[in-house]
Structure 1
Amino acid sequence: MAANPWDPVQPTAAALLIERCLGAGVLSQDDLKQTWKETPCFTQVEDLQKIYALKAEINKSLELEMLTLEKETADISHSFFLNQKCDTLQTINSHLEAVLREKRSLRQRLAKPLCQEHLPIEASYHQFVSELLPLAVKFIEKLEVYIETIHTIPQIPECRKNMDNALVRLEAFEADLEKLTEQILTWREKQIKLLQEKVPEVS
C-alpha cells in the first residue's frame, strides 16, 4: 500500500526497513537500543525524516500554487473557454464569409439611397407616419434656411441696433423731405403767380 504523501509523519525508507527486520525476527528491540547507544548513526534517520517532511510541504505548496495559477489562467488555457472562443470566432468568420459572398449586392445597396424605401414601423403607426413624412420632407428641404436663421440669432442685437439707427435716419430724411416739399410747393405757387401777372400785360 502506497504511503500518503501529505502525511507529515510518514515513515521513511529506513524506518520501513527496520520495521520489516523486526517483523522478520532479524533484529530485536534490544539490538536496536544497544546499537543506538553504541553508534548513534540512526540520528541521521530523524534528519532524513525532517527533510522528507519538508519536501512534502514544499511539494504541497507548489501544487497549491499550480492550482491557483491554473484557476487564474483558466479563461485562456481551459478547454471549455477555448471552445467558447473558437465558436465565437467561427461565427464571426461565417459572417465575414457571407459578407464577402454578397459584396457586390452590398455595394449596390450602399450606393443606392434608401430614403422612403425601408421604414420598419408597426402597422398601427402607418397612418401617423404617412402624415408625418411629408412634413419631414418639407422640413429637410428648408433645413439649411433654419440653420442659417439659428446662426443669425447671436447677431440679432446688432441688427436691431442698426435698424434703430436706420429708422432715426429715415425719420430725419422724412423731415427733410417734408421741408423740401413745402419749399417746392411755395416756389411753384410763386411761379404760378408770376405767370398770372405776366399774362394780362401780354394781352
Structure 2
Amino acid sequence: MQSANPWEPVVANPAACFLERCVGRGLLTQKSLELKLLKLQNDTADITHPVCLTEKYSRLQLMNSHLEAILQVTVSLKQRLVQPICHQCLPVEANCHRYVSELLPMMVKFIEKLDSNLQLIRSTPRVSVKVKLMENLVARMASEVLELKEVMDFIMRWREQQKTGLESLGSK
C-alpha cells in the first residue's frame, strides 16, 4: 500500500473551504483574492528576496565581526587587569599612609561600580524624553477616561429612559 504524500493534502484545509464559500456567495472575487496575494507578496518581498537576504546577511556578518573585535579587546583588558603588578609601588609620604589606607577600599568600590555608573550617566539625557512621553500618555489616558465617562453617562441616561418607557407601557 502506497502512503499519501503529506505535502499534497487530499482534503482541502478549512481556510480554503472558507474562501471557496466566500467566493461562491459573492462576498469575495477571485480577482480580489489575487490582488491581496500580490500585495502580500509585494509587502514581504524585502524579507524573502535573495538580494535583500544577502544584504542583511552581510550587515549581520559585519556587526558580528565588530562585536568579536570588541570582545577580544575586552578580554585582553580583563587579562591585563587580573595580572598582579609586581615591584611597583606608590611613593606615599609617611604622614599620608593613613589617608591612603582609607582611600584604597573606596577606590576599589568606585572601580567596581564604574561600569554601572557610566551606564547611568549615558541614560540620563534620555530620561527627559521618556518623562515627556509618559506625560503625553497620561494626558491621553485622562482624555480617554473622560470620554469613557461621558459614554457611560449617556448609557445610564438611555437605560433610565428605557426603564421609564417600559414602566409607562406596563401601567397602561
Q: TM-score, normalised by structure 1?
A: 0.29
* Larger-Rg structure: 1
